[in-house]
C-alpha cells in the first residue's frame, strides 16, 4: 500500500468479469470490498505517562469525545488503568488508542513495562507529563527507541498554565509557551536524552498550541497508507486540518473514476440503466459518507462542537446549506441520495447514455468507459468541494463564537 486506497489490477479484472457474466450483485460486492481495504488498515497508538498526567483525557479528545461521553476512557486523579485498555475511534474504528498503565512508581522498570503492555502491537507511543518530565519518561523513551519505535513527548494541561500566568503583570503568552517548552527540553537533556522534541497540548482546546504540529510530525514518520488513516481520523478542529483532509480525499478521486470507467467499459450485450446505477452509486455513496465522517458533519460531531464552542446546534446547522448534508445522515435508499447530489441531472444523463451505448456492440463499451470516468470524477470533485466548504463554514462559526 503506497497511497490512500490501493487496488490491484487483478481486483478490477474480477469486477469486470462479474459484470461480463451478468453477475451484478457479485460485482457490487467486490467494489464494496475494495472500499473496505482502507478500513482493514489498523493504526494503534499507545498513550502513557504518570498518574494524573491527562492520558485518558488526551485519548478522549483525539477521538472527539468529552470525558463524560459514552465510550470515553475513564479519567481521575488516581490511576484508573491497570492493564492496556483499547479505545477505537467512533467513526474510524481501525484507529485504536491504547490507555496504558501509569509509569513512575518505585517499582517501574521501562524494559519490563514494555513487555507487559505488548509493545509490538503499537505503531508509536505518546508519552505525557503534566508538569515536568522525569527519569522514568526518559528511560521509557530509550527502551522504545531500542525497539525501533517512535515516541512523542507531550506536555499537557497547558491551558491551566496559561490561566495561572495571566494573573501576572506583563503577561506574554508566546513567551510563556517558549519558557515551558524550553524548560521541558532542558530537563530531558539533563537526564540523558539528546535533542528531544516536546509538544505543548491542551486536551480541552486541541485547536490551540502544538496539536497541529504534533499531528504533522507523526504523519511524516508513518508509512503512507497509515498516515492517510491518521489524517482522516484526527478531529477537524482547524482550517489547516480541514484543507489537508480535502487534499487527501481529492487525490483519490481519479482512482475511483478509473474504477467506474473500467467497469463501464465491460462489453455487456444488454446493460440496463439499473445495473449502471447500482455500480456507480455504490462508489458515490460510500465515498460521500467517508467525506461526511472526515469533516465531522454528523449530528454527534456538531453537538460536541456546540458544547465546546458555546454556539447552539441550530446556529451551526444554519450554515449547512448543501442538501446533501441532510440526506447523507439518513439510512435511505441510494436512489434518494443520488437525487440530492449537486449534479444529479448530470448523473442521470450519464446513466441514460450508458444504456444506449450498451446497445452498440464494441463501440458502445469504448465510449461508455471514458463517459463514466469523467462523470464520476466531476461529481465527486463537486461534492468534496461543497462538503469541505460547509465544514469550513461550520468551523468558522464555532471559532467566531469562541472569539466573541
Residue where a domain terminates, one of 187, 206, 235:
235
According to the model, what pLDDT value does residue 361 have? 45
Question: Does pLDDT of 296 surpass 80?
Answer: yes
Whether 19 is covered by a domain: the verdict is yes
Residue 34: pLDDT band (50, 70, 90) is: low
Task: Find out whether 394 and 329 touch, Cβ atoms under 8 Å.
Answer: no
According to the model, what pLDDT value does residue 362 have? 45
Whether 261 is covered by a domain: the verdict is yes
Strand partners, 324: none
Residue 4: pLDDT band (50, 70, 90) is: very low
Whether 362 is covered by a domain: the verdict is yes
- In 3D space, the residue among 149, 39, 136 whose CA is nearest the CA of residue 96 turns out to be 39
Whether 125 is covered by a domain: the verdict is yes
According to the model, what pLDDT value does residue 238 have? 83
According to the model, what pLDDT value does residue 36 have? 67
Residue 213 shares a structural domain with residue 260: no
Residue 325: pLDDT band (50, 70, 90) is: low
According to the model, what pLDDT value does residue 264 have? 60
According to the model, what pLDDT value does residue 86 have? 92
With a pLDDT cut of 90, the percent of the chain lying above it is: 18
Where are the extended beta strands (E) located within 82-238? 85-88, 95-99, 124-129, 150-155, 198-200
Residue 31 shares a structural domain with residue 114: no
Summarised one tens digit per residue, pLDDT across range 206-261 is 888 999 899 999 999 998 778 888 988 888 888 888 899 998 888 878 777 777 76
Return d(Cα 360, Cα 366) in angstroms, integer: 10
Task: Find out whether 41 and 225 touch, Cβ atoms under 8 Å.
Answer: yes
Residue 214 shares a structural domain with residue 359: no
Residue 80: pLDDT band (50, 70, 90) is: low
Residue 353 shares a structural domain with residue 208: no
Residue 81 shares a structural domain with residue 198: yes
Return d(Cα 13, Cα 259) in angstroms, integer: 10
Question: Sign (positive/negative) of CA torsion 185, 186, 187, 188?
Answer: positive
According to the model, what pLDDT value does residue 117 have? 87
Residue 11: pLDDT band (50, 70, 90) is: low
According to the model, what pLDDT value does residue 44 have? 95
Summarised one tens digit per residue, pLDDT across range 329-350 is 444 345 544 554 444 444 444 4
Whether 152 is covered by a domain: the verdict is yes
According to the model, what pLDDT value does residue 394 have? 81
Whether 69 is covered by a domain: the verdict is yes
Residue 190 shares a structural domain with residue 338: no
Return d(Cα 189, Cα 195) in angstroms, integer: 7
Q: How many CB atoms lie within 10 A of CB 252?
A: 18
According to the model, what pLDDT value does residue 330 have? 47
Whether 104 is covered by a domain: the verdict is yes
Mean per-residue pLDDT of the chain: 76
- Expressed as residue numbers, the domain containing 391 is 9-39+244-403
Residue 390 shares a structural domain with residue 265: yes
Q: How far is CA 8 from CA 13, 14, 34, 255, 380, in A?
A: 9, 10, 9, 12, 22
Return d(Cα 158, Cα 209) in angstroms, integer: 8
- The listed range with the strongest mean pLDDT (141-145, 372-376, 392-396) is 141-145
Residue where a domain terminates, one of 202, 235, 268:
235
According to the model, what pLDDT value does residue 12 have? 55
According to the model, what pLDDT value does residue 116 have? 86
Summarised one tens digit per residue, pLDDT across range 82-136 is 788 999 998 888 999 999 988 877 777 888 888 888 888 999 999 999 888 988 8
Residue 257 shares a structural domain with residue 130: no
> In the numeric block, which cell numbers belong to residue 218?
507523526
According to the model, what pLDDT value does residue 151 have? 93
According to the model, what pLDDT value does residue 236 have? 83
Number of domains forming the structure of the chain:
2
Residue 249 shares a structural domain with residue 323: yes
Instruction: Supply the CATH number for residue 200's domain.
Output: 3.40.50.300
Residue 21: pLDDT band (50, 70, 90) is: low
DSSP codes joined into one string, 65-126: --TTSTTPPP--SS---SS-EEEE-SS-TTEEEEEPPPB-STT--HHHHHHHTTGGG-SEEE
Residue 77 shares a structural domain with residue 137: yes
Question: What's the predicted TM-score (pTM) here?
Answer: 0.78
- What's the whole-number mean pLDDT along residues 359-364? 44
According to the model, what pLDDT value does residue 122 have? 93
Residue 257 shares a structural domain with residue 183: no
According to the model, what pLDDT value does residue 266 have? 57
According to the model, what pLDDT value does residue 326 have? 53
Residue where a domain terminates, one of 214, 235, 256:
235
- What's the whole-number mean pLDDT along residues 58-74? 84
DSSP state of 49: E
According to the model, what pLDDT value does residue 109 have? 85
Summarised one tens digit per residue, pLDDT across range 153-188 is 999 999 988 988 888 888 899 999 999 999 999 999
Question: Does pLDDT of 60 surpass 50?
Answer: yes
Residue 208 shares a structural domain with residue 321: no
Whether 84 is covered by a domain: the verdict is yes
- What's the whole-number mean pLDDT along residues 315-334? 57
Residue 301: pLDDT band (50, 70, 90) is: confident
Amino acid at each position: 500500500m503506497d497511497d490512500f486506497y490501493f487496488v490491484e489490477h487483478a481486483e478490477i479484472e474480477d469486477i469486470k468479469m462479474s459484470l461480463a457474466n451478468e453477475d451484478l450483485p457479485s460485482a457490487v460486492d467486490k467494489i464494496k470490498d475494495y472500499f473496505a481495504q482502507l478500513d482493514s488498515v489498523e493504526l494503534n497508538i499507545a498513550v502513557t505517562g504518570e498518574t494524573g498526567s491527562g492520558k485518558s483525557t488526551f485519548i478522549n479528545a483525539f477521538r472527539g469525545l468529552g470525558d463524560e461521553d459514552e465510550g470515553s476512557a475513564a479519567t481521575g486523579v488516581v490511576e484508573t488503568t491497570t492493564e492496556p485498555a483499547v479505545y477505537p475511534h467512533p467513526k474510524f474504528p481501525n484507529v485504536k488508542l491504547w490507555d496504558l498503565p501509569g509509569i513512575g512508581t518505585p517499582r517501574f522498570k521501562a524494559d519490563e513495562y514494555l513487555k507487559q503492555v505488548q509493545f509490538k502491537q503499537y505503531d508509536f507511543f505518546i508519552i505525557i507529563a503534566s508538569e515536568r518530565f522525569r527519569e522514568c519518561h526518559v528511560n521509557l523513551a530509550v527502551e522504545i527507541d531500542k525497539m525501533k519505535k517512535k515516541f512523542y513527548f507531550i506536555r499537557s494541561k497547558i491551558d491551566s498554565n496559561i490561566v495561572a500566568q495571566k494573573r501576572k503583570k506583563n503577561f506574554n503568552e508566546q513567551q510563556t509557551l517558549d519558557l515551558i517548552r524550553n524548560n521541558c527540553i532542558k530537563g530531558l537533556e539533563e537526564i540523558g536524552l539528546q535533542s528531544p522534541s516536546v509538544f505543548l497540548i491542551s486536551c480541552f482546546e486541541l485547536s490551540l498550541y502544538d496539536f497541529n504540529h504534533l499531528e504533522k510530525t507523526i504523519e511524516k514518520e508513518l508509512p503512507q497508507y497509515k498516515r492517510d488513516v491518521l489524517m482522516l481520523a484526527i478531529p477537524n478542529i482547524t482550517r489547516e486540518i480541514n484543507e489537508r483532509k480535502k487534499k487527501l480525499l481529492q487525490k483519490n478521486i481519479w482512482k475511483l473514476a478509473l474504477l467506474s470507467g473500467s467497469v463501464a467499459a465491460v462489453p455487456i450485450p444488454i446493460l440496463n440503466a439499473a445495473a449502471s446505477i447500482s455500480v456507480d452509486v455504490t462508489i458515490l455513496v460510500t465515498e460521500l459518507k467517508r467525506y461526511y465522517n472526515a469533516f465531522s458533519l454528523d449530528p454527534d460531531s456538531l453537538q460536541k462542537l456546540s458544547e465546546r464552542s458555546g454556539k447552539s446546534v441550530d446556529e451551526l446547522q444554519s450554515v449547512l446549506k448543501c442538501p446533501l448534508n441532510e440526506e447523507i445522515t439518513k439510512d435511505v435508499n441510494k436512489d434518494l441520495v443520488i437525487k440530492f447530489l449537486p449534479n444529479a441531472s448530470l448523473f442521470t444523463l450519464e446513466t441514460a447514455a450508458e444504456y444506449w451505448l450498451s446497445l452498440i456492440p464494441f463501440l458502445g463499451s469504448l465510449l461508455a468507459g471514458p463517459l463514466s470516468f469523467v462523470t464520476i470524477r466531476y461529481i465527486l470533485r463537486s461534492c468534496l468541494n461543497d462538503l469541505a466548504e460547509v465544514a469550513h463554514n461550520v468551523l468558522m462559526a464555532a471559532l467566531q463564537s469562541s472569539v466573541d
